[in-house]
Each structure stands twice: as C-alpha cells, then as structure tokens.
Structure 1
Amino acid sequence: MKKIAILSDSACDLPDSVIEKYNIKLLPLRIIYHDREYRDRIEIKPQEVYDNIEKEVPKTSLPVPEDIIDAFDSLVDEGYTDAIVITISSNLSGTFNLIKLLARDYERLNVKVYDSKTLGIFLGFIVKEVAAIAYNQNMEDIMNKAKEIRSKLKGCYVLKTLTYLRKGGRIGKVEGTVGELFNIKPIIGINDEGVYFTIAKIRGRKRSISKIKSMILEEFKDKKYNIAIIHGGAEEEALELYESIKNIGHIIDGHISQISPALGVHTGPGLIGYAAYEV
C-alpha cells in the first residue's frame, strides 16, 4: 500500500496549523549572520530579521543535506513509501537542484521533486492543495494538481525599497533603479519561469497599494477564490488592505501571511501584496 508524503522548503510560508494538519515536512533554508547561523522558521522568526536588518543584512543559503536526508529517513520511519517535494523557484534558489541530487541517490523512498517556479505563499498554496489530496491520489495526479494550481496563481507585491532585492542578487527583470529617486514604486510579479518582473510603476506607496487593491478587484470581483495578503514587517498595512478587499467577490479562504525570514532578507521591511487563485 502506497503512502505519499508532501515536503516543501521553509519559503512556502504556510502557517503551522496547515503544516501540522497535513503532516507536511519542511526543509529549513538557512539565515547566515557574520557570527551565527539559523534554520529558517525553526530557530528564527521573520520579525527578528526585520528588527536587526539595519545593523546587518544576513545571507541566505540552501537547506543542509543532513536536514534533507533526516526528513527522508523520518518519512520512512512513519511508513511512507513515496514523497513529492515542492520547492522554491530554481531561478531564485539552488534548493530544487540540491534536493533532486540527493533524492536520486536515496533508495528507501520513491521521491519526485517539483520546481514550483514561485515562492512564499504562492508556493504554499500549491503545497496545501496537493497535501489535501495526497492520501487518496497517485503520484501523477498529485503532480498534475501542483501544475494546475501553479497555472492559476495571481499576485504581486510592492517594496519600500529595492535595495535588499538588489543586494541579494534577486532583482531579476525588475526595473526601477532611477525611478526610486522619484518615489516610483514598481509593482512586482513573478513570471512563469520563476523570475521577478515589473508589472507596473506607480508613484508613492499609498498609490501603489491602491493599485494592488484595484488589481484584486479586476481579477476576482465575480469569482470564488482563495487569497493571502502578504507582508514583510508591515502588518498594519496588510490588515488595512485585507479589510478593503474582503468583500470583493467571494473569498473561500482568506488570511494574512508574513513572509519567512529567508525571503524577508531579500525584500527588506515594508513588503505588501497578495497571492490568490480562483477555486
């Protein structure tokens, strides 16, 4: 009898309640300061990163191989025969390639690795949807479900500054270096290849958040959908945005999500945006 597990990395931003409900295994990315190192979401929380980011911008790195192998071993001990690992975009992290390499040589479990070409709660939505059906579906159907949800995802965000995205080398196709001098805020999305790009350029923070609200209205006003308002150290603005959109269309599942430390390092404090898909 096959028993299929779902794994992801800590950049999926799913709340602990969902992780526990579906027994999703998280592979922690690493947050590296000059004198210490933390496992993302296990040994450090997002607000700690934002509180100290003026003093030091840490680096991030892949899960250590030992954590990945330990997770595989744990699944075998729990009676799982198969596993699907859904990772952060391979164009933003080497996590996908590392896990694929380790899975190839791991003989106690049949492992498939899926490159989500996204990150954060966008990735989390895929993981949650497939975890909900993993108990009664085969590997192929679960992989197809992951691709289906990925194709439906909509969303974007705006930052207070592009400084951290640029420092971390994650700037992708985002424009706006000169525009920052004139308070031009790029609305940033992630394309089908898992790379950041500019959706629109708006002057000022209030107008940029208002633009995000209008994008939600345009996309979902007559639809049933799941949505997460995402933020990085900007909870008050996230609450305001959620209140302003909660009567748009028919929200099946809506919540506010703070991005993980591993992502917050590259965006800095002040990120605000949304991730959603029609159901």
Structure 2
Amino acid sequence: MFDIITDSACDLTQEMIHQLGLTVVPFYVSIDGQTYLKEGQEMAVRDFYQFMVDRPDILPKTSLPSLEDFERVFREKAKEGRDVLCLCFTGKMSGGVGSARNARELVLEDYPDAVIEVVDTGAATVSEAATVENAAAMRAAGCTLAETLTWLNGTRPTNQIFFTVGNLDYLIKGGRIGKVTGRAANLLNVKPMIHFADGEIFSGGMARGRQKSMEKAIEQLLGYLAERNADPDDYRILVGYGYDVDEGRRFWMQLRAALRAKYPASECDVEMLQIGATIAVHTGPHALGVGVMRKWKSPIQ
C-alpha cells in the first residue's frame, strides 16, 4: 500500500479527495498581486471566479507550492514509513514538480530508505484528475507502487483535453497569443479551440460562436476515440467548466448525448469538475471542455 499526494491543479472536489484518500498540496492564488492564499483552502475557487467576473480589468495570479510545502508532507510520510506516489501538474507550465523533486532529495538525506516517487503527469485540471483517479483505483485493487508507475507512464500519451474559452483576453494578457490576432478574433466572435497534450497547449482550430465551439470540442473528442477505434467505456472522460455551472451541465448533457448516439452499447460515464484557479488565470472564467485518458481496469474484470 502507498499514499498518493497531488497538487490542487487536479481540481478534484474536497469530497472526492476524502473518498480517494489523497493528500493535496495547494497552489497559491492572489487577486491583489501581494497576498497569496492556498487554493481551495484559504480561497474558494468559486470566490476566485467571482472576482474574475466582477473585475475583468485585473489579472489574478497563481504561485506554485514551495519546496517547504512538499517537504513537510514528504517528511511526515517518511516518519510513518509510508511509501509515496506524488502526482504533479505538468512541468511544462509550472515549476511545482521541481519543488517536489527538490523536497524529495532533502527528505531522503534524513530518511534514505524512504520511497518517494515524484511524477510529472504532463497533465492539468481534468486530465490530472483522471491520472490521480487511475492511481487511486490501482492502489485500491492492490497494485504495487511500481506497477502503478509503469501503467501511468505507459498511458500518459492518452491523456488530453479539448477545450475553448469565452474570449482571448486572458490569453492576450498572459502573453500566450498576440494582441492584434486576439483582438481581431474577439471582434469577429471567433472562439479559439485549444488542445492540451503532452503537458502543453496547442491550437485546436477556431469556431464561430460559443455553441459551435462546444460542438467542436465534442467532435474533437469523438475524433480522438475514432482514431483509436476505442470503446469510450475504456476511458475516463471528464467535463471541465469554469464560472458558469449551468453551462457546464448543458455541455455535459450534450456530450453524453453525442456519445450515446455514436456508442449505443456504451455506458458513457462522464464526470464533471470545475476548473481551478491554476488554469483559470490563463484561460479566463469561461473555459469549457472535455478531458480524456485511458481508464485502468483490473485484469480480473
């Protein structure tokens, strides 16, 4: 048996964290550029979104968990003789995994026999959630830490997200898209489609209008499954939404309907999570999309 540690960029709810028996090291969020509060603990994600909606002129910030944050948790586990699997937000967008790796080295100086595995999941928000859920399922089934690591590494390329945003303002502010291109797209009501794979963001094309962008995200997921000749029951599929819960639920219903139409024999289980502050500072309050990852299944099923 091993313990699973992750960071708050996985965007799992407190109820799910408790059910899965996880330890979460939080990112920090700031709305004034000076005071940083623990995401999900000292500042609720909903409050963060409300600030973004009420004050679109101000760009909130996030800060990664410190070396000390990870060291405190690792040291406690080492004292108890607990093996640790630490699953971190993509290293291509954050230095959090570096903090965890440095903390591991410090703890091993005092506890050389401790087992602490730090993994760059190459994932974010709902795709990181899928990774963590797979690890928890394997642990519950009695898989060893080594077996879990091997399976997660082998299935990492299956972990992707297809999403859109309300407008390009936050991507412009964050320097991830040119001002001229971004403002022209906003004026034309063109919605960017974004593809998250291998730990980073790529262009996924464009769609005109919000509904079309939602439909395109669904089309991209269906294309992903078709390319692999896949049964959706073999994958974790998770809807991620931002500020607008009702819109997130509508998208979730549309996605389920599309999956059932194409795969009538499938159970089409689709989860739904609110995207946290770590991604929202880059995408704005109205990100919406779907994440997917191969689902671990017990060989005896």
Q: Give TM-score, length-normalised by structure 2.
A: 0.82
1:198 aligns with 2:208: no
Aligned to 2:78: 76
Query: What are structure 2's unaligned runs of at least 5 residues?
Result: 296-301
Structure 1 residues 278 and 145: alpha-carbon distance in aligned structure 2, compared to 1, 3 A threshold: closer
Confirm or deny: 8 A CA contact 1:230 1:256 kept in the other structure.
yes
1:226 aligns with 2:236: yes
Distance 1:79 1:20 in 2: 21
Distance 1:217 1:13 in 2: 24
Structure 1 residues 60 and 183: alpha-carbon distance in aligned structure 2, compared to 1, 3 A threshold: same
Aligned to 1:255: 271
The Cα offsets for residues 131-181 of structure 1, whole Å up to 9 and x where unpaired, read as: 222363333321122223422224311001222233335x289x9524333
Distance 1:158 1:176 in 2: 16
Structure 2 counterparts to residues 112-131 of structure 1, below 5 A: 112-131=117-136
Confirm or deny: 8 A CA contact 2:71 2:100 kept in the other structure.
no
Distance 1:58 1:213 in 2: 30
Query: What are structure 1's unaligned runs of at least 5 residues?
Result: none
Distance 2:86 2:267 in 1: 28
Distance 2:76 2:269 in 1: 31
Confirm or deny: 8 A CA contact 1:46 1:264 kept in the other structure.
no
Structure 2 counterparts to residues 80-119 of structure 1, below 5 A: 80=82, 82-107=83-108, 108=111, 109-119=114-124
Structure 2 counterparts to residues 46-85 of structure 1, below 5 A: 46-53=45-52, 54-55=54-55, 56-80=58-82, 82-85=83-86
Q: Secondary structure at the match of 1:105?
A: helix
| Residue from 131, 137, 151 that aligns with 1:145 | 151
Distance 1:198 1:252 in 2: 27
Alpha-carbon shift at residue 33 of structure 1 (Å): 3.1
Structure 1 range deviating more: 218-227 or 194-203: 218-227
Alpha-carbon shift at residue 182 of structure 1 (Å): 1.7
Confirm or deny: 8 A CA contact 2:236 2:294 kept in the other structure.
yes
Confirm or deny: 8 A CA contact 2:74 2:103 kept in the other structure.
no
CA RMSD of aligned residues (A): 2.3
Confirm or deny: 8 A CA contact 1:176 1:184 kept in the other structure.
no
1:45 aligns with 2:44: yes
Distance 2:102 2:69 in 1: 14
Q: Give TM-score, length-normalised by structure 1.
A: 0.88
Confirm or deny: 8 A CA contact 1:30 1:61 kept in the other structure.
yes
Confirm or deny: 8 A CA contact 1:160 1:269 kept in the other structure.
yes
